[in-house]
Amino acid sequence: MIKQATIKNSFLVEGKGLHTGKGSKLIFYPAPVNTGIVFVKEDVEIPALYNFVCDTNRRVILENKGKKISTVEHLLSALYSLGISNLYIHVIGEEIPILDGSAQQWIKLFMDSGINLQDAIREEFALKNPLFVKEKRRVLFLFPSERFEVLGVISFPNSYVKWQRYFLKGLEEYYTEIAPARTFGFHYEVEELIKRGLIGGADLNNALLIGEDGYINEARFSDEPVRHKILDIIGDFSLLGKFIRIKIISIGSGHSLHIKALEILDKMAEGGKEG
């Protein structure tokens, strides 16, 4: 059994958003047991749960009562890896700061704040039977496990990243093997994304840019893109609001497929048959 946890001390973070390029402020506050992760914008609470997701186009956007918070996945990934399950996050702005494009700085901020174990047990979900979820050519295989583990596979056949795979065997490896991996993009899509009002805050300090023959800026890992994909998967699956005992095999999956899988898992939990 895993205990619930929150932070020991409040703190402030400021920075620009990856897509909007606009500045925002986040103030983190400890929260009592059974609160969950809750964003607060203009006095409206927006729980970090999959049924508050309103958009999955290249990032995850949460919404409640017309108030939206964009690009939550990196922050949520860091929180899940640290076991922080109760937290109030007051947001001034539209988008979560991108920081260095990974979860590494988030981890340090929470570690510096301190983590407080609480006198309550965290709700868990244990998958008992394999599950297959598909969306076009994107695939998720979910298997029972005593741990939270992820095998990620990505393939971009006509690019430098023809295919990559990485297996995260447990969250204890997250800090060194997954947290430093930054968001990534391809040089040929930059102009189009800018036209669509995306990546307005991206630069070579917070994103890995992939050219025709290699990485344009220095990579932190030779397989940094697939490691970042796993970072995103963890952030998305945290939106179930429980600790999940599961083995995930992702083949090119994205945010929308992850949310689809969470809907199925939640129905299993509600029906009292965990998998």
Q: What is the mean pLDDT of the chain?
A: 95
Which residue among 19, 74, 228, 255 is the active-site one? 255
Give the span between the Cα atoms of 5 and 3, in whole angstroms: 6
Domains along the chain? 3-121 (3.30.230.20), 124-270 (3.30.1700.10)
pLDDT 10s digits, 6-49 = 999 999 999 999 999 999 999 999 999 999 999 999 999 999 99
pLDDT < 50 positions in the chain: none
B/e letters for 208-236, b = 16+ CB within 10 Å, e = fewer, are bbbeeeebeeebbbebbbbbbbbbbbbbb
d(CA 55, CA 34): 26
Give per-residue pLDDT as tens, 229-240: 999 999 999 999
The reported pLDDT for the residue numbered 134 is 96
Q: What are phi and psi of 85, to 5 degrees?
A: -115, -10
Specify the pTM. 0.95
pLDDT score at 199: 78
Tell me the two tokens of residue 119: 């006198």
Percent of the chain with pLDDT over 90: 88
Catalytic site includes residue 19: no
Whole-number pLDDT of residue 275: 56
Q: State the pLDDT at residue 52.
A: 98
Find out whether 21 and 201 touch, Cβ atoms under 8 Å.
Answer: yes
Please report the pLDDT score of residue 98 as a whole number.
Answer: 97
